[in-house]
A and B are shown apart, each in its own frame.
Chain A
Amino acid sequence: MNDNILELRGITKYFPGIKALDGVDLNIRPGEVHALIGENGAGKSTLVKILTGVYTPTEGKIFYKGKSVSFKNALEAQASGITAIHQEASMFSELSVAENIYMGHHLKTGKFPGSLDWRGMRKKTKALLDDLELDIHPDTLIKNLGVAQRHMVEIAKALSIDAQVVIMDEPTSALTLREVEDLYRIVRRLKEEGKAIIFISHKFDEIFEITDYFTVLRDGRYIGEGNVKESTVDDIVKMMVGRSLDQMYPESNAKIGDVILEAEGISQTGFFKDVSFKLHKGEILGFFGLVGAGRTEVMRSIFGIDKLSNGTVSINGKRVHIHNPKDAMDMGLAYVPEDRQNQGVILDMDLSKNITLPQIDNISPGTLIDKKKEKEITNEFGSMMEIKCAGYHVNANTLSGGNQQKVVLAKWLATKPAVLILDEPTKGIDVATKASVHKFVSELAAEGLGVILISSELPEVLGMADRVIVMHEGLITGEFTREEANSENIIRAATGTTDDIGGAA
């Protein structure tokens, strides 16, 4: 009846008490890259899990190659040719590439019951890798591969089972620009071979670069679809959030004051070298760079988590020695780490304990905790961040990711810092929460805080920062004022192709 390889009609999924998906339609054609777009919680992951047989839909039909199907489990979906490459590659790091690729569908020799054909698997793995133009040996252990290479191995795995539909869930989130290019090359090849690709992404540049068609979900509902070439970012954002975000980035009206934090020639062997910068009161200083450029390491060592091997740090013009996070906090620094699940919140702890943890000194003058003070702080900063929760006594694991991020921000703001270091504060949170974080950050700067904003999202850096410092392989390779900064010169500096500041090899 049509040329769709995969069709969803009216897919509805109830979890006890809530409707995660509500009548979703999806049309996937072979030889096409299909972007699945939606905010966090829009239902993308649930949909992927239904496609790959992890969940069964409550209502609705899945047609695959024209036939109605229902997958009982992930193996069945995989066997019929639908496979997903996950965000955080789910691999066995102590096993080899070949073992990983054939995990779950080992080749057998047939000589003895259960005997495996390792030679065959190695040979086929080699062929697959060559086919993808990857320089990886089949016997290499996964733990010795970089993030990007692991992704490529996942793709090879998808090909090894002759997948017809390949689902990629934010595949570029951990890749460098060059690796992203490699990925694009492979996606285009798959497309030429007539595979259907479902591409989940939060990044518009990548949606416009690589995808042909898109479907937007919001609150578990199908909102619309369209041809990427005939659409604009505004159209898609409107569909995602249900309104247009006329002003994505808040106006900056902070007065830039005196230097509050200064680093001079700081180094940490193996991570960054000879980094110097000044942060002023009321300033938002952007730190841009690719993953692994050393930005996080710079901040961690300023905050006393790691040790500096060289250089000096001054606060308000006075040289300081920060040996541990506590020293840093006492001097008015706050560091909101990138990975909120692993470094930010304590999931098994309630919100008020989470929020007051950084200033446990403050709320327990002797050895006992002053519960009244704890409550006051929690109420003040919890309501300031508009945390959506059933009360501050609930554990952090009952909150959504965006609200967990607000808890992390609340706990650091509660320390009343003079310098706030934000490491990828909007990574993985939805557009609406993102906008509120941005608004909040510029308000803080207006109040005279110095803010360091580490971000890998170019629009965020361009939109928010008064000044941008760009790092590449542990060195500062560029510094631009808001007026000078544009995507071209920043990217040039970030990839080390600049020639105006030396040292980047």
Chain B
Amino acid sequence: MKRFLRTREFNLIILIVVLMIIVAFRAPHFLSGENIERIINDTSILIMVSIGQFFVILTGGIDLSVGSVIAFSGMAASMLNQYQPGIPAAIVFLVGVVIGLALGMINGAIVAFGKVPPIITTLGTMSIFRGFTFVLSKGQWVTAHEMTESYMAIPHGSFLGLTNLIWAAIIISAITYYFSRYTRTGREVYAIGGNKVAARFVGVKEEKINFIIFAISGILCGIAGVMWTSRYAAAVNETATGFELQTVAACVLGGVSIAGGSGAVPGVILGALFLGIINNALPVINLSPFFQMFIQGFVVLLAMFVNTMMDKRNEKLLLNRRRA
């Protein structure tokens, strides 16, 4: 328990509670169950994509192409739905996921076997995949009346009072948490990120791990792509532009080291929730939209600053214990 009080997760929970209380002063209905559910629903996509980003960052890399993968798989799934409305939504969903997986595997192959650094690889594929999206759609949108009801119901349907979208985020969180903590490959991801050379010396195959994590990121982006387009009932070519930065921010807020090797799924979820709350809170307190971006950036930086200060304090405590 004492250990938990010193974790980044605990810091974040405090930050989130404080933030919500502040907002509630201006707008009491912010704390209503309905609104909280809305926030979580709105943040679910960010949570799943951030978890994919988390695994890539954990190995010391970065995936800048997440937004483009979301756009392409979302567009592809929507167009399939548009032109073949007879195909069941579940199959369309799977097709979107497989496309995301394929794009992730392209990234993974370039990084693992082409030995191109992840930042360069995904900087390139970010444009390429976005370009694919335009080529595929010929610049056209898929709009609500071109989608089937069942496709648009994918995220909205509900089970035990929660939307499918929230369930997707919960299931993904649970599986990835389990994967990172209890499976051998999960352990190897941490090992590669913590110390590539030492990991190689004990027989961990770096190529395999790099390939796997980009594939995971791809799958999660594929799911996110279908969810995104069906939820907003529109597949546009600009879907999720700039989303990669939000996912990186969620990871960093959640205590994931950009250098790799440390961080955990719960932190990433909290980091994403924190961002989601800010996004939702600013319109609620009637802030001028002109200020919103500024405040968002400011609060993220402030949160990072507080977190870093706390980490420093903990590190000092740790150092003292080591010397003693």
Chain B residues in 8 Å Cβ range of A371: 182
Alpha-carbon distance A361/B184, docked complex (angstroms): 8
CA distance A324 to B199 in the complex (A): 12
Please indicate the chain B residues that have their CB under 8 angstroms from the CB of A345 in the complex.
195, 198
Within 8 A of B (CB), among A375-420: 390, 397-400, 411
Interface status of A188 (Cβ within 8 A of chain B): no
A17 to B188, CA, bound (A): 36
Please determine whether B198 and A325 come into contact, CB atoms closer than 8 angstroms.
no
Dominant secondary structure at the B interface: helix
Cβ–Cβ < 8 Å partners of B198 in chain A: 337, 342-346
**How far apart are B16's CB and chain A's nearest CB, in angstroms?**
25
Would you call A288 an interface residue if the criterion is a C-beta within 8 Å of the partner chain's C-beta atoms? no
Q: Does B324 contact A (CB under 8 A)?
A: yes
- Cβ–Cβ contact B321 & A390, under 8 A: yes
For residue A305, which residues in chain B have a CB less than 8 angstroms away from its CB?
200-201
**What's the Cα separation between A87 and B148 when bound, in Å?**
69
Identify the closest chain B residue to A371 (Cβ).
B182
Say yes or no for B151: interface residue by CB 8 A criterion. no
Asked whether A335 is an interface residue with its Cβ less than 8 Å from the other chain, the reply is yes
Given contacts A16-B316, A346-B194, A398 and B321 within 8 Å (CB-CB): yes
Whether A358 sits at the interface, judged by CB under 8 Å, is yes
Q: Please pick, from A343, A357, A400, the residue contacting B197 in the complex, using a CB distance under 8 A.
A: A343
Establish whether residues A369 and B183, one from each chain, have CB atoms under 8 Å apart when the complex forms. Answer: yes
CB distance from B261 to the nearest CB of A (A): 4
The reply to whether A348 and B197 contact each other, CB–CB distance below 8 Å, is no
Q: How far is the CA of A69 from the CA of B280 in the complex (A)?
A: 58
A residues near B190, Cβ cutoff 8 Å: 346, 348-349, 353
B320 touches A358 (CB 8 A): no
Per-residue 0/1 for B166-199: is the Cβ within 8 Å of any A Cβ (1 yes, 0 no)? 0000000000000000111101101101110111
| B205 part of interface (Cβ distance < 8 Å) | yes
In A322-378, the 8 Å CB interface with B consists of 324-326, 328-329, 335, 337, 342-349, 353, 357-358, 360-361, 364, 367-369, 371
Contacts of A361 in B (CB 8 A): 184
Query: CA–CA, A390 to B324, complex, Å?
Result: 12
Contact of B182 among A347, A368, A398 (CB under 8 A): A368
Interface size on A, residues (CB 8 A): 38
Q: How large is the interface on B (under 10, 10 to 19, 20 to 34, 35 or more residues)?
A: 20 to 34
Assuming the contacts A18-B320, A18-B323, asked whether A343 and B183 have C-beta atoms less than 8 A apart, the reply is no
Given contacts A390-B321, A398-B322, contact A324 B184 (CB under 8 A): no
CB distance from A301 to the nearest CB of B (A): 13
Do A357 and B324 have beta carbons less than 8 Å apart?
Answer: no
CB distance from B243 to the nearest CB of A (A): 28
- Given the complex, which residues of B lie within 8 Å of A347, measured CB to CB? 194-195, 261
Give the CA-CA distance A364 to B200 in the complex, in Å: 18
Contact check, B205 vs A17: say whether CB atoms are below 8 A apart.
Answer: no
Contact status A18-B324, CB under 8 Å? yes
Q: Which residue of A lies closest to B260 (CB)?
A: A348
Residues of B within 8 A of A400 (CB): 322
Residue B318 lies at the interface, judged by CB distance under 8 Å to chain A? yes
B257 interfacial by beta-carbon distance below 8 Å: yes
CB-CB nearest in chain A for B315: A397
Chain A window 156-168, contacts with chain B (Cβ cutoff 8 Å), 1 for yes, 0 for no: 0000000000000
Task: Give min CB distance, A500 to chain B, whole Å.
Answer: 36
Would B184 and A369 count as touching, CB distance under 8 A?
A: yes
Q: How far is it, in angstroms, between the C-alpha of A397 and the C-alpha of B322 when the chains are bound?
A: 9
Contact of B318 among A15, A346, A358, A398 (CB under 8 A): A398
CB-based A-B contact count at 8 angstroms = 99
A-chain residues with CB within 8 Å of residue B188 when the two chains form the complex = 360
> Does A51 touch B at the CB level, under 8 Å?
no
A357 touches B316 (CB 8 A): no
**CB–CB A367/B203 < 8 A:** no
Check A6 for interface membership: any CB of B closer than 8 A. Answer: no
A20 in contact (CB, < 8 A): yes
Contact status A16-B320, CB under 8 Å: yes
Contacts of B184 in A (CB 8 A): 360-361, 364, 367-369
Contact with B191, one of A342, A343, A346, A399 (Cβ below 8 angstroms): A346
Which chain B positions have C-beta within 8 A of A397? 318
Residues of B within 8 A of A342 (CB): 195, 197-198
B323→A17 contact, CB < 8 A: yes
Interface of A is mostly: mixed
Give the residues in chain A near B197, CB-CB below 8 Å.
Answer: 337, 342-343
- Which A residue's beta carbon lies closest to that of B186? A369
Q: In chain A, residues 303-334, which have Cβ atoms closer than 8 Å to a Cβ of chain B?
A: 303, 305, 324-326, 328-329
CB distance from B231 to the nearest CB of A (A): 33
The CA of A360 and the CA of B199, in the complex, are separated in Å by 11
Most buried by A among B193, B195, B197, B320: B195
Chain B's closest residue to A363 (CB) is: B184
Complex contacts, B261 vs chain A, CB 8 Å: 346-349
B-contact bits for A107-151, CB 8 A (1 contact / 0 none): 000000000000000000000000000000000000000000000
Least Cβ distance of B130 to chain A in Å?
34
Docked complex Cα distance between A328 and B203 (Å): 9
Residues of A within 8 A of B160 (CB): none
Q: Which residue of B lies closest to A327 (CB)?
A: B203
Inter-chain CA distance A360–B202, complex, in Å, is: 9
In the complex, what residue of chain B is closest to A367 when comparing beta carbons? B183
- Interface members, chain B 296-324 (any A CB < 8 Å): 316, 318-324
Q: Using Cβ atoms and an 8 Å threshold, which residues of chain A touch B320? A: 15-18
A177 to chain B, nearest CB (A): 28
Q: Out of B200, B201, B257, B323, which one reaches A348, CB within 8 Å?
A: B257
| Shortest Cβ distance from residue A68 to the other chain B in the assembled complex, whole angstroms | 28
Q: Does B262 contact A (CB under 8 A)?
A: yes
- Look across to chain A and name the residue whose beta carbon is closest to the beta carbon of B261: A348
What string of 1s and 0s marks CB contacts (under 8 Å) between B52-64 and chain A?
0000000000000
- CB distance A358 to B191 under 8 Å? no
Residues of B within 8 A of A349 (CB): 190-191, 194, 261
Task: Report chain A residues within 8 Å CB of B321.
Answer: 17, 390, 398
B203 A325 Cβ-Cβ under 8 A? yes
In the complex, A195→B125 CA distance in Å? 60
User: Which residues of chain A are within 8 angstroms of B187 by Cβ–Cβ distance?
Assistant: 353, 357, 360, 369
User: Which of the listed residues B182, B194, B204, B321 has the most CB atoms from chain A within 10 Å of its own CB?
Assistant: B194
User: Which residues of chain A (237-286) have a CB below 8 Å from chain B?
Assistant: none
Once bound together, how far apart are the Cα atoms of A337 and B202, in whole Å? 11
Q: Which residues of A contact B194 (CB under 8 A)?
A: 346-349
Bound-state CA distance A339–B253 (Å) is 32
Are A364 and B183 also in contact (CB < 8 A) when A342-B198, A346-B191, A347-B195 are?
Answer: yes
Point out the residues of chain A lying under 8 angstroms from B204, CB to CB: 357, 360
**A and B contact pairs by CB, cutoff 8 A, 30 listed:** A17-B320, A325-B202, A326-B203, A328-B203, A329-B202, A337-B198, A337-B201, A342-B198, A345-B195, A346-B191, A346-B198, A346-B199, A348-B194, A348-B261, A348-B262, A349-B190, A349-B261, A353-B187, A357-B187, A357-B191, A358-B203, A360-B202, A361-B184, A364-B183, A364-B184, A367-B185, A368-B182, A398-B318, A399-B322, A411-B202
Top 8 closest pairs, chain A to chain B, by CB: A326-B203, A346-B194, A17-B320, A364-B184, A358-B202, A348-B261, A325-B203, A346-B195
Binding site for B on A (CB under 8 A): 15-18, 20, 303, 305, 324-326, 328-329, 335, 337, 342-349, 353, 357-358, 360-361, 364, 367-369, 371, 390, 397-400, 411
